Structure 1
C-alpha cells in the first residue's frame, strides 16, 4: 500500500480590521473586517483555495473557526468562489486571547498602566492567564492531532485541517504545536490574512514542524 502523505494544519489569520490597523488589542470585541480587508481576502482567495491550490477543499477533513465575525467572514470569503463551504465548527477554543481589562487598548496605553507588562509572562488581568491560554490552545491541538492520527494510521478522513483565527491565538498555537513554551510566540509574526502551514518532519507524527509562515499575506 502506498504511504499516505503527511497531514497538515493550515492556519489563517483573519483579514484587516480597524483595530488591527491601529494596533488595539481585539479579543472579545466583535468588529468587522474593513472594506479593504474584505477585498484583500477576496483577491487572494483564488490563489489560496481551490483544486491544486495550497488549501484544496478535497483535502480538508474539517475546519475550526473562531466565532468572531472577522474570522467567520474571512472563512466564507475564502471559500465562496469554489461553490461550497466545507464542514466547519465555530468554536471558542479558537477565539483570540481574552484581554480582559486591556481590551481595546494600545500596547503603549497598557505600558502606562504597567511598564513591565508582557502578555507572554503575565497574561491579562480580568482576561486569560498564560496557563489558561496554554490549556485552551493545547485542547484544539489535541483535536487536530486526533484527526491527523486517524488519517495517517487508520486511513480515516482526509489529509488536512484548517483553522481561521487571530493573531495572538495563532502565535500561541505555533509555539505549542512545536511543544515550545508560550513565549516562543514572541519570535513569530503573522500578518492579517497570512497563511501558516504546520506539519511534521521525517514522516513522523512525533516531530511537529513549521512548513511555511505568512504565505500569501494580504498586507502590503
Structure 2
C-alpha cells in the first residue's frame, strides 16, 4: 500500500476591513468585512476552495475559526461556491492578539501612550513582539497560545496519519485555521520552532492563504507557501 500523503495546515487570514486598510490594531473589535473584502473572499473561494482545489473540504479533518465576525464571514464566503463544506468550529485559541489598552490604536498612538506612562519604548517606541500589550496579552502569553494551537494541529495530523484504518482516498487529515494577521504570524513562527519575534519575517495579507506542512516526516515542520489565492 502506498504511504499516506502528508497532512497540511491551511492558515487563512480574514478579508479586508476598514481597520486593515488604515492600519489600526483590531483585536476584540468586531468589524465586518468591507464590500471589497467580501468580493475578494468570494473570488478566493471560487478559485481555491472546493473538492480538488487548494483547500479541499474532503481532506479537512479539523477546523479552527476565530470567534470574530470577520473571520466567521471569511469562512462562510470561501466555501460559498463549494458543494462540500466542512462544519465551522469556533475556537477562541485562534483569536487575534488581545491588544488591551492599544485596541483601535495606530502604532504611533501606542508609542505615545507608553511614553506617557514612562514605559520602556526602545528604538521605534513599541515592539509588540517583545513588549506585548498593556492591559492585553504579553509576548509570552502569545507564544504560549500559539504553541498550544501548534500542538493541537500536530496532534490532529499525527492521529490521522498513524490511524491503522486507511481512509478511502486518504480523506481527512488536513487542518484549516481562519484567523488574523498577528496571530497568523505568531503561529507561523512557532510552527517553524522560531522565537516569536521571527513572526515579523512573515507578511500575510488580508485574504491570503499560507500552508504549513512537513519535510519527509511528521518531525520536521516546514512552510509550504505564503499568500496563495490573491493573484
Output aligned runs, 1:106-125, within 5 Å.
106-114=106-114, 115=121, 116-125=125-134
CA positional deviation for 1:161: 0.5
Q: Pick closer, same or farther for the CA change 1:155–1:15 going to 2, 3 Å.
A: farther
Find the aligned partners of 1:126 and 1:155 in 2 and give their Cα distance: 47
Find the aligned partners of 1:140 and 1:174 in 2 and give their Cα distance: 11
Equivalent position SS for 1:45: helix
Please state if 1:159 is matched with 2:168: no
Partner of 2:85: 85
Find the aligned partners of 1:207 and 1:106 in 2 and give their Cα distance: 37
Find the aligned partners of 1:100 and 1:194 in 2 and give their Cα distance: 26
Find the aligned partners of 2:152 and 2:138 in 1 and give their Cα distance: 22
Partner of 2:32: 32
Which segment is superposed worse, 158-167 or 77-86?
A: 77-86
Partner of 1:143: 152
Find the aligned partners of 1:155 and 1:169 in 2 and give their Cα distance: 34
Contact 1:49 1:57 in 2 (8 A): yes
1:94-145 superposed Cα distances (whole Å, 9 cap, x missing partner): 1000000000001122222334310000110000011111111111111111
CA positional deviation for 1:88: 3.0
Q: Pick closer, same or farther for the CA change 1:155–1:66 going to 2, 3 Å.
A: farther
Find the aligned partners of 1:88 and 1:6 in 2 and give their Cα distance: 23
Find the aligned partners of 1:8 and 1:215 in 2 and give their Cα distance: 14
Find the aligned partners of 2:80 and 2:62 in 1 and give their Cα distance: 16
Specify the structure having the higher radius of gyration (Cα). 2
Find the aligned partners of 1:159 and 1:149 in 2 and give their Cα distance: 9
Please state if 1:210 is matched with 2:223: yes
The one of 173, 183, 191 equivalent to 1:169 is 183
Contact 2:209 2:228 in 1 (8 A): yes
Partner of 2:118: none
Contact 2:50 2:83 in 1 (8 A): no
Unpaired segments ≥5 residues, structure 1: none
Find the aligned partners of 2:54 and 2:164 in 1 and give their Cα distance: 22
Find the aligned partners of 1:79 and 1:195 in 2 and give their Cα distance: 14
CA positional deviation for 1:85: 3.1
Equivalent position SS for 2:222: strand
TM-score (norm 2): 0.90
Partner of 1:126: 135
Contact 1:167 1:190 in 2 (8 A): yes
Contact 1:62 1:88 in 2 (8 A): no
